[in-house]
Amino acid sequence: MPIAKSEYLSEVWKDGLFADRVVFCTGGNGSICSAQVRALVHLGANACIVGRNPEKTKTVAQDIATARPGSKVLGIGDIDVRDPERLQSAIDRCVQELGGIDFLIAGAAGNFLAPMSQLSINAFKTVLEIDTVGSFNVTKLAMPHLLSSVKKHTSGPPSGRIIYVSATMHYTGAPLQTHVTVAKAGVDALAVNVAIEYGPYGITSNVISPGPIKDTEGTRRLSAKPRSDNKRIPLGRSGTVKEIADATVYLFSDAANYVNGVVMPVDGGAWRVGGGNPGRDFEYPDFILSGEKVNIKAAERKPKTGNSKL
């Protein structure tokens, strides 16, 4: 169903800002990434979102398309960013049906809570493969189209831009998140190297690192009782998906023409006061020392349905 513009985009952006541009987004059926894409579509872009859950991805794409009459939004499911062949098929379809790829959002991710003592080797490897290797895969496969976009569009809205959706917990470290801190550190490093190697061709590569964002799948998944006092956030509140979407619009707009290789936390300054705790259920260091297993009741969270970012 249509969502009010005020929930995913500020009034400062000009309509038609991204007219005739195409964004390809992994993890696009997630709470944060879908808001990013919705904002771009509202401002004139067409889009292709991919995810592992076919039904959810298709439904979210149809919902995003309501942001602007006449928009084209493809939702391609059964796509695992760890599988280059399937990912390539989605990119090929996007180019064939929408005409190219001008913007890339790499947002597919995996997350759960586990201390190292309960973190299996396979689980650790899986998160790295989804977050870090998956981000590399989509960059590698989409890059020829991004380069073509830069050559093609010498005027009008910007093109050839990449945003990686990361996190802030690896700046300080965080309990129960070893797998994620390592994976996201790799994502940040990838983004910087892409900026260095492809900047000379006109490509910009930047990172948005969301902090605690309310009413997202990630918040529900990582704690049955998320913090509500916000005492460890300097601005005194959780963020909103709109604030991540606004940062996305900025980095893809003319206002950020000279911004490249930047890691941009959008977290109200939360990382400055340390990694904190995942939620009231898991106070540090008491939970670690207890030896208890992480157990969040299925009824208190939404099931994980694919590669979606938060």
| pLDDT at 241 (0 to 100) | 96
Average pLDDT of the chain to the nearest whole number = 89
The dihedral through the CA atoms of 13, 16, 20, 26 has a sign that is: positive
The pLDDT tens digits of the residues spanning 6-57 come to: 889 888 899 999 999 999 999 999 999 999 999 999 999 999 999 999 999 9
Q: Please give the domain boundaries of the chain with CATH numbers for all domains.
A: 14-300 (3.40.50.720)
Quote the tokens at residue 279.
Answer: 């939620």
State the catalytic residue, choosing from 58, 184, 242, 309. Answer: 184
The pLDDT tens digits of the residues spanning 271-304 come to: 998 654 565 567 777 878 888 888 754 333 333 4
> Is 56 among the residues known to form the active site?
no
pLDDT at residue 79 is higher than 60: yes
- The answer to whether residues 157 and 18 touch, using CB atoms and an 8 Å cutoff, is yes
d(CA 109, CA 86): 17
> Is 205 among the residues known to form the active site?
no
State the catalytic residue, choosing from 166, 223, 238, 253. Answer: 166
- The answer to whether residues 157 and 141 touch, using CB atoms and an 8 Å cutoff, is no
